[in-house]
Amino acid sequence: MAVKGLDIFKLTPKKNCKECGFPTCMAFSMKVAAGAAEIDKCPYITDEAKAQLSEATAPPMKTIKIGTGDTECALGGETVLFRHEKTYVNKALFAVEFSDADSDDEIAKKVAHLEAVKYDRIGELMCVEVASVRYAADKAKFLDLIAKVIELGRVPMAVVEDVEVAKEAAEAIKAAKGILMGATPANADAIVEVAKAADVVLGVSAGSIEELHDTVEKIEAAGYKNLVLNVGDSSVKEAYNNAVTIRTNTLKGDDRTFGYPSVVFVNKIACCEQMEVALASAFVLRYGSIIVMSDMDFKQALPLFGLRQNIFTDPQKPMRVEPTIYEFNKADDNSPVLVTVDFALSYFVVSGEIERSKVPAYLAIPDAGGYSVLTAWAAGKFGASVISDFIKESGIADKTKCRKLILPGKVAVLQGDVAEALPDWEVIVGPTEAMQIPKFLRDLMGI
Ligand code: SF4
């Protein structure tokens, strides 16, 4: 919650000595409240006041790091309830759950899906980031599964409440910076010491949201704040209500006990595979930081990955690619030049279709502000002069002797002006839809 300038002013010594670089203590306090000055700039402020302030200005929801190296991810750290208010900070992660009660065939199928499901969309390579491993009864198989998912490059989440087994699980996951999902009201005192010793994130579960609150308070009092919260798995209603309550209380209330990322075991509350995908979608929108599925193949992953990418992009920043000349299918000095905008989605759709055509070609991308073709054109960022200046300055004329320049069909109106500015080029109006590009290019080049 934001701290007001007046609250900070109450903590200053009110000397108005200017040593902080501001004319008065009040002016200094207002700057600190606005985030434009550090409280340490006042040499007279007491340690007690500093501690009070740092607690008050701490973000309401903690950022929790898991994984190491390529698998490192951040969870939580959110500051708004709705994406349109500002932006979400750390994307929801997907997990697949293994168990020592699974048959070898089931495990092999999940492993095959985990390895196969990778989706490259708009420059982001997406996969299932976390592997949850639930302890049932076979400790050796449970620990083997943890080792296996680490070997597969996934962040391990060991789901185990038995404190003795949890000690071994914590040892197994500590180098991979995994999650020990094991704290309950009954074992909190003991398991927090296990998590502390291994320095791993501790997952907290309870039978009700009130119990969850009390258990988190107890763990925090024991000095551990590296936590994630299980929203509950007795029913869809309970999990959804708890996910919303936890996030709303964190961001809008005064109590920060729930200020941690949440874990949703969709595999425990869904009645079937289709319902798992539907619920996972709901929890991407409403506050799952880790969403656990029983399995994830391509047909489940693609809609979820697409939804997640749309929700966790910053709505205030257009997704762009670098304005430059791109080459496809071993473009050479006889290859035509297509033009489109630097909006990432336009680039990836057009480039995919050029690749599919198998026709060697160049793709010229001027700086069009990161907008789509028609928006950029309407905003004056993708006009004839932008295109012709880019073609002249990019050096593309030295790369190809072919002088065919293909404009997007949606801006056919630019053909005359671009042709006038580039008299050496044959300016051609291309298709209005990217899917028409392969046939268009093959016909154009007589292939
Ligand atoms: Fe006030 Fe401290 Fe700044 Fe002096 S240095 S004016 S006491 S805030």
Ligand 1 center to 57 CA (angstroms):
19
Average pLDDT over residues 154-170: 98
pLDDT attached to residue 380: 95
Among 230, 349, 221, smallest CA distance to 283 is for: 230
Ligand 1 center to 124 CA (angstroms):
48
**Residues 73 and 51 reside in one and the same domain:** no
> Over 70: is that where the pLDDT of 57 sits?
no
**Residues 371 and 394 reside in one and the same domain:** yes
Ligand 1 pocket test, candidate residues 6, 8, 12, most atoms within 8 A of CB: 12
**Residues 99 and 229 reside in one and the same domain:** yes
pLDDT attached to residue 176: 98
Other CB atoms within 10 A of residue 286 CB? 14
pLDDT attached to residue 379: 95
**Residues 41 and 84 reside in one and the same domain:** no
**Residues 115 and 220 reside in one and the same domain:** yes
What is this model's ipTM? 0.98
What CATH number corresponds to the domain at position 418? 3.40.50.11600
Q: Does the beta carbon of 40 sit less than 6 angstroms from any atom of ligand 1?
A: no
Q: Does the beta carbon of 44 sit less than 6 angstroms from any atom of ligand 1?
A: yes
**Residues 284 and 427 reside in one and the same domain:** no
pLDDT tens column, 74-117: 999 998 999 888 889 899 999 999 999 999 999 999 999 999 99
pLDDT attached to residue 33: 79
Backbone angles phi, psi at 416, to 5 degrees: -60, -45
Helical H segments across 39-103, by residue range = 47-57
The helix/strand/coil state of 100 is: coil
Ligand 1 atom nearest residue 45's Cα: 2
236 found inside a domain: yes
Ligand 1 center to 19 CA (angstroms):
6
Strand 124-127 and strand 118-121: pairing? antiparallel
**Residues 9 and 89 reside in one and the same domain:** no
**Mean pLDDT of all residues in the chain?**
94
Q: Does the beta carbon of 13 sit less than 6 angstroms from any atom of ligand 1?
A: yes
Question: Measured between alpha carbons, how far is 261 from 289 in angstroms, rounded to an integer?
Answer: 6
Ligand 1 atom nearest residue 41's Cα: 5
Ligand 1 atom nearest residue 28's Cα: 8
pLDDT attached to residue 37: 80
Q: How confident is the model at residue 52 (pLDDT cuts 50, 70, 90)?
A: confident
**Residues 153 and 278 reside in one and the same domain:** yes
Q: Is 38 exposed, middle or buried (0-12, 13-18, 19+ CB in 10 A)?
A: exposed
What CATH number corresponds to the domain at position 242? 3.20.20.20
Average pLDDT over residues 309-329: 89
Q: How confident is the model at residue 35 (pLDDT cuts 50, 70, 90)?
A: low
pLDDT attached to residue 2: 61
Q: Is 325 exposed, middle or buried (0-12, 13-18, 19+ CB in 10 A)?
A: middle
Which structural domain range is residue 350 located in? 325-445
Q: Does the beta carbon of 18 sit less than 6 angstroms from any atom of ligand 1?
A: yes
Q: Does the beta carbon of 25 sit less than 6 angstroms from any atom of ligand 1?
A: yes
Q: What are the Cα distances from residue 41, in Å, to 49, 50, 226? A: 13, 11, 30
**Residues 171 and 249 reside in one and the same domain:** yes
Ligand 1 pocket test, candidate residues 6, 9, 14, 16, most atoms within 8 A of CB: 16
> Over 60: is that where the pLDDT of 39 sits?
yes
Domain count, the chain: 3
